Amino acid sequence: MLPRKSMTWVLLLLLLSPAIVNLSTSQSDARWAAKKRRLRDKVHKMFYHAYDNYMIHAFPHDELKPLSKSFTDSLSELGNLKLERLPQDYSGSALTLIESLSSLVIMGNNTEFQSAVVWLSENLTFNVDARVNLFECNIRVLGGLVSAHLLATDSTDRLGKGVYKNQLLTLAEDLGKRFLPAFNTPTGLPYAWVNLKYGVMENETTETSTSGCGSLILEMGALSRLTGDPKYESAALRALRKLWSMRSSLNLLGTTLDVSTGEWIEYSTGIGAGVDSFYEYLFKAHILFGKEEFWRMFHSAYIAVQKYFRHGPWYHEADMRTGKATYWQLTSLQAFWPGLQVLVGDIAAANSSHREFVYVWKKYGVLPERYLLDHQMLHPTEKYYPLRPELAESTFYLYQATKDPWYIEVGESIVNSLNLYTKVDGGFASIRDVTTMQLEDHQHSFFLAETCKYLFLLFDDSFLVEKNYIFTTEGHPLPVLSSWHDRLPETYIQTNRTLLKTGNQARRASSMSKQVCPPTTLNSWECSGQQVESACHVPDARSDHRCLTDDECGVDSSNCRRRSCSMAGYCGLWLFI
């Protein structure tokens, strides 16, 4: 028995402990809120350090050279867009300004947004003899204009009365029309390059990438919905369907192809450069336009990626025909994948891969362009870091999904590295070699369009409150509108559903309809304690689970891991025991 005095203290402690816990939690929440505000303000300063230096030293050219405080017309690689009322020999498209439009809105600077809209409305023209890369011009210029138009015409009245009369949409439609000659091929797959004034040039290359012809549907689809003219979406959709029809029996697509013959050129493939945004746009097009066709394509493609590319938390490359590994390497562009997995609902897999990217970032201070997984070393020539946004993007999505403060710490690490290694007096410079932190005189427009934007949203998501956006592969927000969604017939029933009962009420739900993989992320009340089949589930070849090789084993329904064949001849998660 405790003494009476001790009992009194125990009872008092029990009475006070909930209050102490609540006070501690409240103090902790206040500290995190203060930290997020401090980091938000830090990113805000980063953005304007980059933006103001561009406006002072490079505008109206394309991009800033921060070391020399000069400019580069980077769209000269795409084809030199030109501006009216300027000398005939001037080349430049104010690319960074176009790319910054939605970032200005997200950071609350409606005054600068209005000034930029007015300037572009009065000066930008696409009626020029300019050979542009269709993919890059689509995601950067068309996407930037369409997104800014939607932001200029939403219900917030961020522009002065009478200032905006759809000028950006007029520019976007003009550009979209100039894209269309690229689709005049025997296959419907577009050329990689098109001249804005004369169409496809004689002897133009017929080689393009999977991303190049399969990542046009968001911007061109949105343009069709806004103008009421279906030809832009139809061209992009025809190309996407043709590309999907070229997949292998494993549901894998290669990296490069010929638009005239429809034949693959490069069979080695993965989730990085040349293919990345193809996967991204399949799922985001399903969200934006509500087409079940996009979900079916993505679902099959996602299963194939998880089956043939995934090795633990990493993703290697493989031959699209056989599924056999070809290159064991991490590329910085792959860092977008965890963010996409968050949208799908595969949070566990997203977190696993994201942590490996963070490990490499912390190892070098930034994320190198290419890292050899089989040798655990840098690629000998691709050691650069051009201020890419993909890791910040995935960190933002994972924090939105989990609210785990660890992702805030990751964001803080990214912010600190950018300020420590890349900030210079004239802006932010790319890194030529991550082993020496030698700088390169280039501030890419996507640093303002994406890197700063995703970091800002990580710490302050007020722009997203009570709104629903998807972001293009260049970080331009497009609102999800019910009026853009395909209407389904009343008799429509989605496939692969599981009947669940909650009390006396029966309802249909599955990870397919919820787009969740694995299903463990579903709340228990949603499933009434029952297991829901995962969207990534691939059954074993035989119902009795017997096997001779790993190829006869599928993907586990509970955790999306590849099953293997044991020495006894049974499929299971033997590698994870």
403: left (phi over 0), alpha (psi -120 to 50) or beta: left
The whole-angstrom separation of Cα 267 and Cα 436 is 35
Q: Which residues contact 349 (CB under 8 A, 6 or more apart)?
A: 306, 310, 338, 341, 517, 518, 560
End-to-end CA distance of the chain: 48
User: What residues contact 441, with CB distance under 8 A and at least 6 apart?
Assistant: 65, 66, 67, 68, 429
Known active-site residue 99: no
What token pair was written down for 291? 């087409």
Q: What share of the chain is helix, strand, coil (3-state, %, to 5)?
A: 50, 15, 40
Q: 328 by DSSP, 3-state: which? A: coil
**Tokens describing residue 250:** 């494993």
Nearest one of 575, 543, 574, 572 to 556, comparing CA atoms: 572
The pair of structure tokens assigned to 446 is 């996507």
540 torsion bin: left (phi>0), alpha (psi -120 to 50), beta (else): beta
Q: Which of 173, 276, 460, 556 is catalytic?
A: 276
How far apart, in whole angstroms, are the C-alpha atoms of residue 332 and residue 324? 22
- Single out the residue of 211, 210, 189 nearest to residue 277, CA to CA: 211
Q: Is 330 helix (H, G, I), strand (E, B) or coil?
A: strand
Strands 264-266, 268-269: parallel, antiparallel or unpaired by DSSP? unpaired
208, 246 contact by CB (below 8 A):
no
Cα distances from 468 to residues 105, 113, 200, 256, 287, in angstroms, run 16, 21, 38, 34, 10
φ, ψ (nearest 5 deg) of residue 351: -65, -40
3-state secondary structure of 56: helix
Q: Is 144 in contact with 450 (CB distance < 8 Å)?
A: no
Sequence-distant (6+) residues with CB within 8 A of 402 are 347, 351
Exactly one of 63, 99, 136, 460 is catalytic; name it: 136
DSSP state of 268: E
Instruction: Let me know if 390 is a catalytic residue.
Output: yes
Helix (H) or strand (E) holding 57: helix 4-57
Q: Which of 211, 212, 294, 308 is nearest to 252 (CA)?
A: 308
Instruction: From the candidates 390, 412, 440, 441, give the one annotated as an active-site residue.
Output: 390
Pairing of strands 377-378, 310-311: unpaired
Beta pairing, strands 131-133 & 423-424: unpaired
Q: Which position has the token pair 């995190």?
A: 32
CB 408 within 8 A of CB 351: no
Query: What CA dihedral angle connects 462, 468, 471 and 475, to 10 degrees?
Result: -20
Please identify which of the residues 63, 280, 369, 393 carries the catalytic annotation: 369
Is 369 marked active-site? yes
The residues annotated as belonging to the active site are: 136, 276, 369, 390
